[in-house]
Amino acid sequence: MKLLLLGGTLFLGRAIAEAALQQGHQVTLFTRGQHDSELFAQPGVTHIQGDRLQDLSALQGQTWDAVIDTSAYVPSSVRAAATLLAPVVKHYTFISSVSVFANVQQVGTDENAPVAQITEEQLAEAEQLAQENNLFTAPAFGDWYGALKARCEQVAEQAMPGRVLTIRPGLIVGPHDTSDRFTYWPRRVAQGGEVLAPGRPDKPVQFIDVRDLAEWTLHMVERQQTGIYNATGPDQVITMQQLLETCQQVSQNDATLTWLDDAFLLEQKAGPWMELPLWIPDAEQDMAGFMSIDIARALAAGLTFRPLAETVRATLDWDATRPTTTEYKAGMAHEKELTLLKNWHERH
| 161-167: average pLDDT | 98
Identify the CATH number of the domain in which residue 73 sits: 3.40.50.720
DSSP class of 276: B
Q: What angle do CA 95, 99, 100 make, to 5 degrees?
A: 75
| 140-156: average pLDDT | 92
If asked whether residues 96 and 135 sit together in one domain, one would say: yes
* CA distances from residue 203 to 189, 206, 238, 261 in whole angstroms, order as listed: 19, 10, 8, 11
Going by C-beta distance under 8 Å and a sequence separation of 6 or more, which residues neighbour residue 119?
A: none
If asked whether residues 147 and 280 sit together in one domain, one would say: no
Going by C-beta distance under 8 Å and a sequence separation of 6 or more, which residues neighbour residue 77?
A: 52, 53, 130, 152
User: 101-122 burial string, b = 16+ CB within 10 Å, else e?
Assistant: beebeeeebebebebbebeeee
**Interatomic CA distance for residues 18 and 176, integer angstroms:** 13
Residue of higher predicted confidence among 30 and 133: 30
If asked whether residues 185 and 66 sit together in one domain, one would say: no
DSSP class of 326: -
If asked whether residues 165 and 197 sit together in one domain, one would say: no
Going by C-beta distance under 8 Å and a sequence separation of 6 or more, which residues neighbour residue 276?
A: 196, 198, 265, 270, 331, 332
> Between β-strands 91-95 and 164-169, what pairing exists: parallel, antiparallel or unpaired?
parallel
If asked whether residues 78 and 15 sit together in one domain, one would say: yes
Report the number of distinct structural domains present in the chain. 2
If asked whether residues 331 and 186 sit together in one domain, one would say: yes
Identify the CATH number of the domain in which residue 331 sits: 3.90.25
pLDDT value of position 136: 56
Model confidence band, residue 137 (pLDDT cutoffs 50, 70, 90): low
pLDDT value of position 134: 65
Q: Which residue type is seen at 327?
A: E
pLDDT for 37 beyond 80: no
Range of the domain at 132: 2-169
pLDDT value of position 139: 62
If asked whether residues 147 and 199 sit together in one domain, one would say: no
Q: Mind listing the pLDDT tens digit for each residue in 222-267?
A: 999 999 999 999 999 999 999 999 999 999 999 999 999 999 999 9
Q: How many CA atoms lie within 13 A of 77 on its CB side?
A: 25
Going by C-beta distance under 8 Å and a sequence separation of 6 or more, which residues neighbour residue 80?
A: 52, 56
**Interatomic CA distance for residues 288 and 280, integer angstroms:** 8
* CB contact at 8 A, 136 and 54: no
68: in domain: yes
**Interatomic CA distance for residues 142 and 19, integer angstroms:** 31
346: in domain: yes
